[in-house]
Structure formats: C-alpha cells, structure tokens
Structure 1
Amino acid sequence: MSTSNNMLNILTLFSIEEPVLDADIICEKLNFSKPTGYRYIKDLVAHGLLQRLYGGQYTFGPKISVMDYISQQSNPILRLSIPLMLDIVEQTEFSCCLTQFYEDYCIDIHHESYKDSSLLAYGRGRPRPAYVGAAPKIILANTAMKIQKAIFQKYHEHFISSGFVETEAEFLEKLNQIKKQGYYLSKGELEPHLGALAVPIIYSTKAFPLALSIVGSVKRFNLIHVETIVEILTKAANHIESEFKNAE
C-alpha cells in the first residue's frame, strides 16, 4: 500500500467515539512498525492534519477546520441550496436539512433551523445510520439495485426489527414504491420525538442523490398537509437539479 494511502488510513481511524488516539494505538491498529507509524504521524502534524495533545495523544489538526470552511464556502450545491433552504424554513416553520450518502451512512452537509430550534441531535458532518429516517430511505430509493441489496444485506436485522420489511424482495419493492411516490415521510424512526419528510435531489448521474428534508416534532407532522410540503420541497429540488444540468 502506498504512503499516501497509509497516511489517509490514519485519518480515517478518528471518529466521534475515538476523537483522540495514542500513537502506539494507531500503529497497532494499522499494523505499522513504530518508526514507520511515527514518521507518518509526524508528517500529518507538519501539514496541520493532526495535532499532538499530550503524552503521545493526537487529534485532528487545524487544517481540517480550514478544509471544512473551504468546503462550505466553495461547494456549488450549498451555494444553490442554502437560499432555498432558508425559504423553506420560512414557509413551513420546520427545520430543513440537506443530506448526503457516503459508504454506508448518511451525513447532513447543511441544515437550517427554525428559530434556533434544538430538535436536531445530528448536525453537520455527524454520521447517522443508513437504515432509519426519511433522508436515507429516499436516497436509497433512487440508487442502483446493487447498492440497495448491499445495504439490506448489511442491515437486514435493523430493517426487520423496525417492521420496515422482512425480506430483500420486499425491501427492493418498498424502495421502488418510495421512488415512484417521490418522497418519504418518517415518524419516530431516527429519534422517537422527531419526524421528517424528504425528497431526492438527483443532480448527477455520477453521484448519489442528495436528500432535501424538513424535520420537526412528530406532533407537528400529525397536523401537516403532506402534499403541500412535498410540493415546496420538490420545487426546490427541481431548481437545484436544473441549475446543475445547465452547468454541465
């Protein structure tokens, strides 16, 4: 494996559960000799991607924060989406999220809260499961069948225990129905008190769809007119899609 891959593998070890790692643990996890592992870590520190804390402990460095800032400022999807999301929040009085699928989990790449609502436990960049909630379901419904099958095989126990489906065939059919419907409404899937309604943003044939969703309490979702919200979200999603098609 190349040096660049080895150094990237060090960065992928850090997580919410393990935001700080000991240098010896890093070497052990990745099967590096100590001289080799220490050299990689030293180079990552020199580039600001890691920083040393104390006693051989390391965490992400300041360059990571800079890179995240650049991503927020330069991402054309965000530039297009944020004004629309602010408008959605104003119209619906719900919070609004833009969600991306990566490997086998979802992450919110942006969200706008209604009146500083603290309902959302998951913020920008925090991984969340690919098997519960409106955003993951609408994204999966608009992806290739081989990906759908892979997700079911990995998380079939979750899909079964939640009562979503029992078999792979049912899973594929359910996703097909969601795709035809054009949206997915969840109540209490991710968190018992929260509901969400999501539509897909299919902006490229070479990338996973995004999900544009509103989030609020289940009590509020019991009172909404679903078709009106779907129309608002779909209009915004269509605008983003058309802007990207015009840019291609």
Structure 2
Amino acid sequence: MSTSDNMLNILTLFTIQEPVLDADTICEKLNFSKPTGYRYIKDLVAHGLLQRLHGGQYTFGPRISVMDYISQQSNPIIRFSVPLMLDIVEQTEFSCCLTQFYEDYCIDIHHESHRDSNLLAYGRGRPRPIYAGAAPKIILASTAPKIQKSIYQKFSNEFQASGFADNEQEFLEKLNQVKKQGYYASKGELESHLGAIAVPIIYSNKAYPIALSVVGSVKRFNLINSETIVNILSKAAKTIEEEVKKAEQK
C-alpha cells in the first residue's frame, strides 16, 4: 500500500468502541514496524488529524472537528434542508433527522430537536444499524436490488429476529412495498420508546438517497395522524430535491 493508504488506514482504526489507541496497538493492528508506524503517527499529529494523550495514547485531533464543520457548512443537502427541518419541528413538535447510508450502516448527518428534546440517543456522525428503524428501511427501499441483497446477506439474522423478513425474497418484496408506499413508519425498532416516520430524498441517480424523518415517543405516534406527517415530510423532501438539482445546474 502507498503511504497515503497506510495513514488513512490508521484513521479508520478509531471507532466508537475504541476511540483511543496507543502507538504499539496501531502498529500491531496494521502490521507496521514500530519505526514506520511511529513515523506515520507523528505525521498525522503534525497535521492535526491525531492528538497525543497521556501514556502514549492517541485519538482524533482538532483538524477532524474543523473538517466536520466544513462538511456540515458546505453540504448542499444540509443547507437546503435546515429551514425545512426547523419548520417540520415547529409544525409537528417532533425531532427531525437527515440520515445517510455509508458502507453497511447509517449515520445522521443533521438533526433538529423540538425544544431541546433529549429523546435522540444517536447524534450526528454516530453509526447506527442499517437493519432497524424508519430511516434505514426507506433508504434501502430506494436502492438497487443488488445492494438490498448484499445487506440482507450480511444481516439476515437481524432482519429475521426483528420479524421484518424471514428470507431474502420476502425482504425484497417488503422493500418493494415500502418503495411503492413512499414512506416507512417504525415503532420501537431502534429504541423501544421511540417511533419514526421517514421518506426518501432522491436527489441524484449516482448517489444513495437520504432519509428525512421525524422521531418521537411511541406514545405520541399512537395518537397522531400518520398521513398528515407523511404529507409534510414528502413535500419537504420534494423541495430539497428540486433545490439540489437547481444548484447543480448553475
């Protein structure tokens, strides 16, 4: 591998489960000699991508935070979505999320909460499973069958345990039903006390769709008119799609 590949591989070692690693562990995980591994780590620290903690341990550096801020400010999906999300929060008194598919999990790239609600355990950038919740299901329903089959093969046990689908054919059929329906509603799939309704934002045929969803307590979802929420979300998603396409044409 090239030097750049090796240095990027160091960054990918840091996870939610292992946010801090020592230099020897990094070298061992990537099969680097200590002189080589230490040199890579030193360069990453110099560029602010890693920072040294006590006892020779390392974690992400300040430059990562700057990069995340730039990403948030420059992403046109987020820029066009925020005013609409704030309006959705005001109308529904639910929290509102934008969720993206990456590799074999989902991440929320932005959310707006109703009056500082603390319902959401998953915030921006925290990976969450592709097999549970409204946002992942509506994203999967809007992707190609090849991707759907790949995800089912990886997480068939989880989809079966949740009662969503006992086999691949049933999985594909259910996703097709969700796609035709245009939204997915969940109750207690990701967290037992939470429900959600999600619609897709399909802004490009070269990128995975993004989910726009509202999240609230299951108790509240038991009392609402889901059709009204779906209409609000669908209208907002359509507006975001149109704004992104306009921006790309400029």
Q: Normalised by the size of structure 2, how large is the TM-score?
A: 0.98
**Structure 1 residues 14-163: aligned runs within 5 Å:** 14-163=14-163
Instruction: Give the counterpart letter for 1:130 in structure 2.
Output: I
Offset at residue 6 of structure 1 (A): 0.7
**Distance in 1 (alpha carbons) for counterparts of 2:104 and 2:33:** 30
SS of the aligned residue for 2:54 comes to coil
Q: State the alpha-carbon separation in 1 of the partners of residues 144 and 247 from structure 2.
A: 24
What is the CA-CA distance between 1:76 and the residue it aligns to? Answer: 1.0
**What is the alpha-carbon distance in structure 2 between the residues aligned to residue 194 and residue 143 of structure 1?**
25
Whether 2:246 is the aligned partner of 1:246: answer yes
User: How many Å apart are 1:247 and its aligned residue?
Assistant: 2.7
2:166 matched to which residue of 1?
A: 166
SS of 1:174's equivalent in the other structure is: helix
For 2:205 and 2:3, how far apart are their aligned partners in 1?
32
TM-superposition CA deviations, 1:118-174 (whole Å, max 9, x none): 000000100000000000000000001111001000000000011111000000000
Equivalences, count: 248
CA drift of 1:54 comes to 1.6
Q: CA deviation at 1:244?
A: 1.8
SS for the counterpart of 1:195 is strand
**For the residues of structure 1 that align with 2:54 and 2:38, how far apart are their CA atoms?**
15
Deviation of 1:246 after TM superposition, in Å, equals 2.1
CA RMSD of superposed structures (Å)? 0.6
Deviations 1:150-209 (A, max 9, x none): 100000000001111100000000000000000000000000000000000001111110
Share of identical aligned residues, percent? 82
The alignment's TM-score, normalised by the length of structure 1, stands at 0.99
Query: Which residue is 2:193 aligned to?
Result: 193
CA distance in 1, matches of 2:5, 2:172: 35
Q: Secondary structure at the match of 2:28?
A: helix
Per-residue deviation, residues 71-127 of structure 1 (Å, max 9, x unmatched): 111111111000000000000000000000000000000000001100000001000
Structure 2 unaligned spans of 5+: none
Tell me, in whole angstroms, the C-alpha distance in 1 between the residues paired with 2:245 and 2:107: 24
